[in-house]
Amino acid sequence: MQNIKYSKKVKEHFLHPHNMGKIKNADGIGKLGNPACGDVMYIYLKIIKKNEKEIIKDIKFQTMGCAAAISTSSMITDIVKGKTLEEAFKITNKDVAKELDGLPPIKMHCSNLAADVLKEAIKDYYNKQKNRKIKYEKTACYKCCDSKKEMD
């Protein structure tokens, strides 16, 4: 078994995750899984419109996975809460890892999953709007969750 060293911030977000849970009637839902490691993440968004801008009023996550997966999920919710969708969409895996004071190289795929599941939630929101579609290239090696059902 490998001895993986995590930063203090990673440990704090793992032990005391922020914004964990589910938003009923979410405006956007992102679901991704990484078959290589078994991590599965869900992100739920509540969007408000203010001065013609769409702002993330609330964001929650549900993650089944390792300490890095839970920590990156928690951190990305902190990073984007209150931001516009355009600002949130620009968040990268490197941004998430940097805010956590780094991740071990073997765990960087977890930050990719967090950044991409956020983009999936934003994409879901846009897809629900008339004539609004968005595309992006995923940065991690995973596929969308096979199950279309949300976690209970």
Just list the catalytic residues: 37, 110
- What DSSP string describes 66-107? -HHHHHHHHHHHHHHTTSBHHHHHT--HHHHHHHTT---GGG
Query: Beta 28-34 vs 39-50: how paired, if at all?
Result: antiparallel
Three-class DSSP category at 9: helix
